[in-house]
Structure 1
Amino acid sequence: MTEPRARLRAAACSDIGPHRATNQDAAFTAPWGAAVADGVGGGPAGDLASAAFIHRLAAGRLDGLEPVQLADTVRSANWDLRAHVERDPSLSGMATTFTGLFASRDGGLLLAHTGDSRAYRLRDGHLVQQSRDDSLVQALVDQGLVSMADAASHPRRNIITASLSGAERDAATVTTHDALPGDRWLLCSDGLTDYVPDEEIRVLMVQNRDAAATAEACVSLALLAGSRDNVTVVVCDVVDTLAADWSAPAATTFHGAAAERFMEGLESA
């Protein structure tokens, strides 16, 4: 397999927040990809759903895949959720959102998404949402029944229309993107975007050069804004492996629920 030139210098920050008993967000970062998942509220074991999916996905090392291969790998990780439910029927109904960014075979990037966790790209100072929310409010916006200005504060904004639950019909939308060194991507749970306007996120993305510092600043701002949810932010800087400042790849790291569950096997492997 040809080694893709594009790589991600990625970092993440996840906080349970002051109003939740558990962190149902999970994330991972690696030079070849990163992702965030948010356990669906109102269902059982949201932390298990997000953590199990993230670990199963990261174990596949999605490095240099084509869109169809990535979609198949997401589907396989989704089946792992079904296996958990088959072993313990009390988990029936657990589900998670998912947004992930991965190096593709052709040297570009692949974005995989389902639910209302989001992906943004900062390029030349402009922050543009690259994912589309799978939500009731987004459907109302598409139909012209709700304005974009009202969508952010709509009382039903947290009702999603797609997620991963282990069902056969579950799927992620996969889109292709160019990988321009200097681009910065942000993947996040709605604990950030429900409370912090895009423009304030953009300012933090521009002001902070370090990916880890940017992720931490975004989480801190969400908590300061009164977020009542878990908050998870992943920041990915697109770098060129031929650049002078490229350093050896870091190991895959897990965050949130994924750092609390399923780590024993990895540490002893």
Structure 2
Amino acid sequence: MMVPMSYSLVYSARSEIGHHRKNNEDTLRVNLERGFCLVADGIGGGAAGEVASRLFAETADEIFQNASDRSEAEALARVQETFRCANSRVREHAAKHPLHLGLGCTADLMAFHDHGFVLGHLGDSRSYRMRNHHLMQLTKDHSLVQHQLDAGLISPDDARTHPMRHVILRAVGGEDEVSLDLIRGPIHSKDLYLLCSDGLTDFVDDDRLAAILNMDQALAQKVDALIDAALTAGGYDNITAALVQAE
């Protein structure tokens, strides 16, 4: 029997192929009844990327299917198990299908427990929190460009147009043992969480994200505005955004 949370959640989400891709390698899943939201972005090109992100989402569906409670410990265990199992499944698929060698996916998976969230993160998909009109990035990209930024080798402006900005250092399916970031925090009334693929954040900067999220509009209209901003900027990649708000 699930323990009721101390807050309620509402959401809106959307995924678009963009203007220049033949297929959508992003996978989006929001199931608030089971207590999770995820965005996964395929790596490997063509069908390979789609397979990896789909495997991640299907794994989450299975692991969150019979949640026995909404404790923080339970949420943490399910997030870790999803990444571990999905990593194994992606690597097993690649071993059986040589044409898909090198496939993988980035993934952000947020699990909600009775007083807060547990967020698992691999790659360069991102999660943000808007609280009291202030936008905070919860995750740090596992990318070559982020590594160079941290080392002071390039500036933030350089990073946005760097020719190697899509080189990912950690991903689901990348290594035998998964090494993910785990972020935990409380959920306050009116908190707004954004999970998104790099098809949004590569082309819409944080100031623009904050302006859209602060609009006095319904969640669905905010999601549409996020997607439209990325499409207007060129729509060069698949674009996925999920908004979850606490009430």
TM-score normalised by L of structure 1: 0.82
- Equivalent residues of 2:19, 2:234 under 8 A apart: no
- Bigger CA drift: 94-103 or 151-160? 151-160
Q: In 2, distance between residues paired with 1:163 and 1:152?
A: 20
**Corresponding residue number in structure 2 for 1:75:** 84
Q: Structure 1 residues 136 and 58, CA, compared in 2 at 3 Å: closer, same or farther?
A: same
Aligned partner of residue 200 in structure 2, secondary structure = helix
Aligned partner of residue 19 in structure 1, secondary structure = coil
**Corresponding residue number in structure 2 for 1:204:** 212
CA shift digits 1:219-239 (9 cap, x unpaired): 111001113101111111123
CA shift digits 1:55-109 (9 cap, x unpaired): 22122227532424421232112222233234433322110000121113x5211
Could you say which structure has the greater relative contact order, defined with CA pairs below 8 angstroms and 6 or more residues apart? 1
**Corresponding residue number in structure 1 for 2:62:** 59
**Corresponding residue number in structure 1 for 2:93:** 84
Size of the aligned set, in residue pairs, is: 238
**Corresponding residue number in structure 2 for 1:264:** none
Moved over 6 A (4+): none
Matches within 5 A, 1:114-263: 114-165=122-173, 167-239=175-247
- Equivalent residues of 2:94, 2:101 under 8 A apart: yes
CA shift digits 1:110-147 (9 cap, x unpaired): 11100000011111111111100000011011111112
Q: Structure 1 residues 20 and 195, CA, compared in 2 at 3 Å: closer, same or farther?
A: same
TM-score normalised by L of structure 2: 0.89
Identity of aligned residues (%): 34
Shift of 1:178: 0.8
Q: In 2, distance between residues paired with 1:165 and 1:43?
A: 16
Q: Please tell me the residue identity of whatever aligns with 2:39.
A: V
Shift of 1:201: 1.1
**Corresponding residue number in structure 2 for 1:261:** none
- Equivalent residues of 1:78, 1:164 under 8 A apart: yes
Shift of 1:41: 4.7
Aligned partner of residue 215 in structure 1, secondary structure = helix
